[in-house]
Structure 1
Amino acid sequence: MRPSHLLLAVLVAAVWGVNFTVIEIGLGHFPPLLFSALRFLAAALPAVFLVGRPKVAWKWILAVGLVLGVAKFGLVFVGMDAGMPAGLSSLVLQIQAVFTAVIAAAVLGERPSRVQAAGMLVALAGIGVAAADEGASGPLGAFLMVVGAAAAWGLSNVLTRKASPPDALNFMVWVCTVPVLPLLALSLLTEGPAADLAALRGLDWQGAGTIVFVAWVSTVFGFGAWGWLLRRHPASTVAPFSLLVPVFGMSSAALFLGEAVTPLRWCAAALLVGGVALTTLTGARRVPGRIRARGAAPVPAEGAATPALTPRR
């Protein structure tokens, strides 16, 4: 990988890590579900008019849009609003690699290797340590919401794998059009029209800046740059850089939000990142008699290291 490409990969990981701190700031301006809806609206418009027509069936765009956009990001934003720290959120979400591997084994017949299975156990141990740390200092319910978001993320990875989009950026921009109305409806039902209107009327430069960052910098630039790198380098070369996301996430949260990083959290980080690395960077074996889905590997959503769902060639 050229030095310029290496720097771009690190920049994308940094953007995706800092994104959690920006989300935390944005939650001070908007109710969580409204914030998530505005994020997807800004990411979809006007980009949807620039990327061309969808290149996969609408059923896949709708499925991924609902699972990734509504379930995953809805849970992340609500969980962080309920007290889940930004840095810890960036770390815990990496457990999606384990959920992806488990769902892929059940749906695609891709059995994890022994090394992958060991990596899952190590990552789950990291989640246990993180839960113990968060349970002692914060709301456990918010922690479980982010774990649930990671599970939804894993399912969306497998759905994306089945969809096999030939153009990752085109696919994700169209996916961003799906969650807007469901999230707005959920916000009106649960957060209330009064809270939503108050947030929109009180919109200032900082609140608008958070929307621009999470929509255009994290989503449009992040996916565009990541897809550009994947077109020029093997996934096994690019994917490890996503393991830097929680490093930037925890560091930026400590620097800008004053979040403490306890010894238990460092231990959880070491276990999670190490376990995800083993789960992600080793191949899966095909279960005899099962038909493997065709096409490209899953598209990571803001820095997820996804398992190698196809065997090495």
Structure 2
Amino acid sequence: MSIRTAFPALFAALLFGASTPLAKALTGFVTPLLLAGLLYLGSGVGLTLVLAIRRIWTSPGSESDRSGIPGAEVPWLIGAILAGGVAGPALLMTGLVSTNAASASLLLNVEGVLTAVIAWLVFKENADRQIVLGMLAIVAGGLLLSWQPGSLQMSPGALFIVGACLCWAIDNNLTRKVSSNDALLIACLKGLVAGLCNTGLALMQGAVLPSMGTTAEALLVGFAGYGVSLALFVVGLRVLGTARTGAYFSIAPLFGVLISFVIWPEVPSLAFWFAAALMALGVWLHLRERHEHEHTHEPLAHSHSHRHDEHHQHEHDFPWDGKEPHRHWHKHEVMVHKHPHYPDVHHRHTH
């Protein structure tokens, strides 16, 4: 696997990791649930503006202008939004009430594990020994990074946090089912729904909106750390599959800690360096993967941004200016061949 292929997932992790220390700086001015709502709203509103600008620059009526979600895939997207944008944050905030921060940080690492388990067992995504070992190394690094003395003290709220991780794992796997569509649109819809739900719930619980300046900062952090990050995560699902994208995204805490050191300078502990080494080992194991065998592509019709490579040899039923990549509805015929591949949108086959 090339670093270029892994780049969307890794950059998504960087942006999300950066949002954690930046959001932490706002916690003294906003309640946790309201902050979560504002971050998601920043994601949804920011991406709405990006989509509007893109539409202005796109020729009206052209094939590339059609970026809606096919009706057959809408249930998958609704399920992802309800699981990850509504149920997940609500369970997390409920669990945090009776769970200390150290335990919560450790438990949040369960999301990556559950994401991979669901992808492997339910959706039959392939994974060899090297990928599994890489996943274990990244998760172990995350556990070590968030470990604090006494952090194994469990409370009833821990079950709610694990429940939140399960919701996000389900969200990740359901989002994979629609990942061939416009990543910006998917991230925008998820951000708007999650933002409205969490903000509304916080206001009903008595939270008060902060100053305009603080609100603007939260929206801006949400746009980059949740909006752009989620769009890149969707691209990662499209080209890498769920388990591998989830594994790369699990290194987000490492980026968060590094940025925290910049904002609040301190000497990294020995545990940090061990955690960084484990995560680097996991990423290296994933990057050196080479999965190759003869496989069959079943007939498939969908729309996504593509170039005319070996998987996209088709005619156009509309005027095409020859520019690539481009997006339009196209069909794939049956094809049997052999080459290195990953469980991307074109290689979701059984083994």
TM-score, scaled to structure 2: 0.59
Equivalent residue, structure 2, for 1:55: 69
Unaligned runs of 5+ in 2: 56-65, 305-341
- 2: distance between equivalents of 1:116 and 1:269? 18
Contact 2:42 2:218 in 1 (8 A): no
Count of equivalent residues: 280
Equivalent residue, structure 2, for 1:20: 20
- Match among 186, 205, 211 for residue 203 of structure 1: 211
Report deviation, 1:160.
1.1
Contact 2:141 2:274 in 1 (8 A): yes
Superposition pairs of residues 56-205 of structure 1, within 5 angstroms: 56=70, 57-74=73-90, 84=101, 96-130=111-145, 133-136=147-150, 149-188=164-203, 192-193=205-206, 196-197=207-208, 200=209, 202-205=210-213
In 2 relative to 1, CA 119–150 (structure 1 residues): closer, same or farther, beyond 3 Å? farther
Report deviation, 1:30.
1.3
- 2: distance between equivalents of 1:282 and 1:43? 33
Which is richer in helix? 1
Query: Deviation digits for residues 244-300 of structure 1, max 9, x if unmatched?
Result: 7444311111232457743224323432453365468747899xxxx9x99899xxx
Q: Partner of 1:213: helix, strand, or coil?
A: helix
- 1: distance between equivalents of 2:291 and 2:119? 9
- 2: distance between equivalents of 1:312 and 1:19? 32
Query: Deviation digits for residues 196-241 of structure 1, max 9, x if unmatched?
Result: 12xx1x4252443122222x2233444567778999xx659x9798
Which is richer in strand? 2
Q: Which has the higher contact order (CA 8 A, sep 6+)?
A: 1
More off after superposition, 112-121 vs 267-276: 267-276
- 2: distance between equivalents of 1:79 and 1:62? 24
Report deviation, 1:20.
0.8
Contact 1:98 1:279 in 2 (8 A): no
Give % identity: 25
Q: Partner of 2:20: helix, strand, or coil?
A: helix
In 2 relative to 1, CA 80–263 (structure 1 residues): closer, same or farther, beyond 3 Å? farther
One-letter amino acid of the structure 1 residue matched with residue 76 of structure 2: W
Equivalent residue, structure 1, for 2:339: none
One-letter amino acid of the structure 2 residue matched with residue 42 of structure 1: G
Contact 2:108 2:165 in 1 (8 A): yes
Equivalent residue, structure 1, for 2:36: 36
One-letter amino acid of the structure 1 residue matched with residue 85 of structure 2: G
Larger Rg computed on CA atoms: 2
Q: Partner of 2:28: helix, strand, or coil?
A: coil
Equivalent residue, structure 2, for 1:212: 220
- 1: distance between equivalents of 2:12 and 2:40? 19
TM-score, scaled to structure 1: 0.65
Query: Deviation digits for residues 34-71 of structure 1, max 9, x if unmatched?
Result: 11122222322364472776414432232111222234
Unaligned runs of 5+ in 1: 298-307
Contact 2:13 2:255 in 1 (8 A): yes
Contact 1:126 1:268 in 2 (8 A): yes
- 1: distance between equivalents of 2:197 and 2:115? 24
- 2: distance between equivalents of 1:218 and 1:271? 24
- 2: distance between equivalents of 1:61 and 1:235? 19
Q: Partner of 2:177: helix, strand, or coil?
A: helix
Equivalent residue, structure 2, for 1:300: none
Contact 2:142 2:253 in 1 (8 A): no
One-letter amino acid of the structure 1 residue matched with residue 134 of structure 2: G
- 1: distance between equivalents of 2:163 and 2:287? 20
Contact 1:34 1:187 in 2 (8 A): yes
Equivalent residue, structure 1, for 2:263: 256
